[in-house]
Amino acid sequence: MKKVFSRTSSLRDVDTHYCSGCGHGIAHRLIAEAIDELDIREQVIGITPVGCAVIAYNYWNFDCVESPHGRGLAIATAIKRVRPQNIVFTYQGDGDLAAIGTAETIHAANRGENLTVIFINNAVYGMTGGQMAPTTLIGQKTATSPRGRDIGNEGYPLKISEIVAQLPGVYSVERVSCDSPKGVLKAKSAIKAAFKNQMDNKGFSLVEVLSACPTYWSLTPADSLDWMQNTMSKEFPLGKIK
């Protein structure tokens, strides 16, 4: 029988540890497919974050380096400078990239490092139990904003993609959302383009992926997708920012 579909070779055959409806599995697969379609698996070095996705290397079948919390872009900078022949990307959550690692993010972007950044924004800290993230929406209830995020106390959701896009060293910034089959396909083409940019020595490319966390949104997986479409993407508008 003719085989018409199979697991892409950058993904391993393992069970998931992610919760039902979690967006990380989708993002992992999109990255793996983009890498295989570009035929760069043997050149790729992935930087995994601290957070739910720390063990992304258990799913990916290529070289990975596990970063201290927030420092992914410092590590990636050094790796790409030492080994420009490799394709280097970071996979970072909102706490990692936009809170503790803000300085590393801004400065790697400003240096125009030739890197690919996949920024997973699910508006909450997952691994530690659903605390407020820098991207938590105003009024959103979390373990550490039990009355809802209050701008007087916690400030506004941080739009790091828009900030980074201002920097002259940055080549490309795009925000996508894995909230529907159409959104997933768009996310894949953005991720693939961000890798292609690096292969073409274009410089710093960031893809912000809005991603579901039903567990800490206290929603069903299906309701999570509705919330992303109707609420989250209003705060974080989709599309090419730069």
Partner 1 sequence: MTKGQKILISGNEAIAQAALDAGCTFYAGYPITPQNEIIAYMSEHMPLQGGVFIQSESELAAINMVFGASAVGARAMTSSSSPGISLMQEAISYIAGAELPAVIVNVMRAGPGLGNIWPAQSDYFQATKPGHGDYHCIALAPSSVQEAYEVTKDAFRLADMYRIPVFILSDGMLGQMMEPLLADSQGSMADGKRKKLSTIDYRLSTKKWAATGCKGRDAHVVKSFYMNMGELERFNLELQEKYKKIKAREQKQEALYIDDAQVVLVAYGTMARLAKEAMAILRKKGVKAGLLRPISVWPFPEDIIKRLTVSGKRVVFLVIEMSYGQMVEDVRLAVNGRAQVEFLGRSGGGIPSEEEIINKTVALLNC
Distance CA 93, CA 119 (A): 6
Record the tokens describing residue 210, joined without a space.
């809005």
**Which residues in 76-94 are b (16+ Cβ under 10 Å) and which e?**
bbebbeeeeeebbbbbbbb
Q: Which residue has the tokens 């490799």?
A: 86
Does the footprint of partner 1 cover residue 140 (CB under 8 A)?
A: no
Judged by CB, which is closer to partner 1: 19, or 45?
45
Dist. CA 55–CA 34, nearest whole Å:
19
- Binding residue (CB under 8 A) for partner 1 from 8, 19, 107, 131: 107
Q: What is the C-alpha to C-alpha distance for residues 194 and 173, in angstroms, rounded to an integer?
A: 9
Query: Is 64 an interacting residue with respect to partner 1 (CB under 8 A)?
Result: yes
Other beta carbons within 10 Å of 210? 25
Least distance from C-beta 175 to partner 1, angstroms? 25
Closest residue by Cα to residue 12 from 36, 40, 32: 32
Does the protein bind partner 1 through residue 44 (CB under 8 A)?
yes
Told to check if 236 binds partner 1 by CB under 8 A, we report: no
Of 71 and 159, nearer to partner 1 (C-beta) is 71
* Selected binder of partner 1 within 8, 37, 38, 43 (CB under 8 A): 43
The reply to whether 71 sits near partner 1 by the rule CB under 8 A is yes
- Shortest Å distance, C-beta 40 to partner 1: 9
The answer to whether residue 62 forms part of the interface with partner 1 (CB under 8 A) is yes
d(CA 158, CA 160): 6
Task: Tally the C-alpha atoms within 13 A of residue 33's C-alpha that lie toward its C-beta.
Answer: 16
What radius of gyration do the chain's Cα atoms show? 17
Which among 42, 51, 49 is positioned nearest to 73, based on CA atoms? 49
If one asks whether residue 189 binds partner 1 (CB under 8 A), the answer comes out as: no
Per CB under 8 A, 104 contacts partner 1: yes
Residue 8 makes contact with partner 1 by CB under 8 A: no
Among 30-38, 101-109, 158-166, 208-216, the segment contacting partner 1 (CB under 8 A): 101-109
Contact region for partner 1 (CB under 8 A) — 72-80, 162-170, 186-194, 226-234?
72-80
Closer by beta carbon to partner 1, 16 or else 218:
16
**Interacting residue ranges for partner 1, rule: CB under 8 A:** 41-45, 47, 54-55, 57, 60-68, 71, 74-79, 81-83, 85-86, 103-104, 106-107
